[in-house]
Chains A and B, each alone.
Chain A
Amino acid sequence: MDDRGLVDTVLGGNRDAFRVLVEREQVAVYRTCLRILGRPHDAEDVAQESFVIAYRALRSYRGEGALGGWLMRIATRQAFRRLGQRRDAVELDHEVATHAPALDPVAVTLAGERQRAVRLAVAALNEPYREVVALRFFGELSLEEIAATTRRPLNTVKTHLRRGLERLRANLDREAVA
């Protein structure tokens, strides 16, 4: 079933058809949220919230891009919003490195620091650069998918990506010096 057919089926009253979308996109949505938030518990929470928001807003899906990209955009926005809400909280960034193979505590600590630096550097970007970088590297969307989902020309997306990466590099350099 294609995206439009899936959406029409759900809108026609078949709520269970939404499970197809959940099972198809759950890994990508969860990983995106985890890469932004750094905590599995928060990532699952925001991923579930994103699916619920997508369900409620399903009739606003216009079919201009893939349904997965539309859902991913909701998820990145929700994740950055959650990240902004917990800025005051103490950062505990051990979770992302849970499946790191190294048992050396120093290596684990260094890997965690590196991951934290990347995550915070992306979060510090301004829009629209942050969204493009997050959709590309955290959501793993292609540039064409980002262009369709955000309804921007492909060249504009490329420009946003390049500028976003340049600013990200500056942020990472600043973090490394600090």
Chain B
Amino acid sequence: MSGRFDPRDAGLPPDLDSTLAALDGYAADSADLPSPGFADRVMQAVAEQPAPARGLLALLLAPFAGRPSAPVRLAAVLATATVAVVLVVAAAEVADLVQRNTGGPPASPSVTLAPSPSPTATPTPSATPSATPSVVPTSTPETSPTGSAEASASDDHHESDESKTPEPSETPRASDDSSDDSSGGHN
């Protein structure tokens, strides 16, 4: 606390002297003291307050108190990132160990682990059947009533796969014709 004020310190113009005098006079007239026991009453009120303990962050940052430099801050960030990566890897390892240990006797997991590649293989064949079933079911119902070998063979030679869809309309005739042909067409 500095006491009296020198207006020249603040570069104040002289026309403010009367205002400064009024303020100084008021401060001088009101220079009372607090009543006896004031500090005790304050401490009594303070005792009823919870302790102003440091926060967790303040405790963690205590070694870096007082505006840490840029390298220190960078090191803190890198250390935090490293710890985070280590924690993630450790959590994955623990999860893997838990999964292995909760699977049952050691022989059965070796058997159950073997089929695990097979589900990955099965989806790849599933793509090729999706193309072939569209051909196979259409041909089998039509070939079953008639002589299948002749109809399918003749279509394969004349036209491509597109010619198989009109087949239902032709197969009844073909079945009649083929029976005729088979009886006397080739003759």
Contacts and interface: CB of A to CB of B under 8 A. Distances in A.
Do they bind each other?
yes
B29 to A, nearest CB: 6
**A contacts with B: majority SS:** helix
Nearest to A7: B52
Contacts, number: 135
B135 interface: no
A174 interface: no
Nearest to A99: B32
Contact of B46 (A23, A40, A51): A51
Interface residues of B, number: 43
Contact of B22 (A51, A58, A172): A172
A51 B42 contact: yes
Contacts of B58: 59
Interface string B5-49: 100011111011011101111110111111100110111011101
Interface of A: 10-11, 13, 15-16, 18-19, 22-23, 26-28, 30-31, 34-35, 40, 43-44, 47-48, 51-52, 55-59, 68, 96-100, 111, 114-115, 118-119, 122, 133, 136-143, 145, 158, 161-162, 165-166, 168-169, 172
Nearest to B52: A58
Given A31-B32, A98-B32, A165-B19, A118 B26 contact: yes
A161 B10 contact: yes
B49 A44 contact: no
Contact of B29 (A40, A111, A161): A111
B1 interface: yes
A158 B7 CA distance: 10
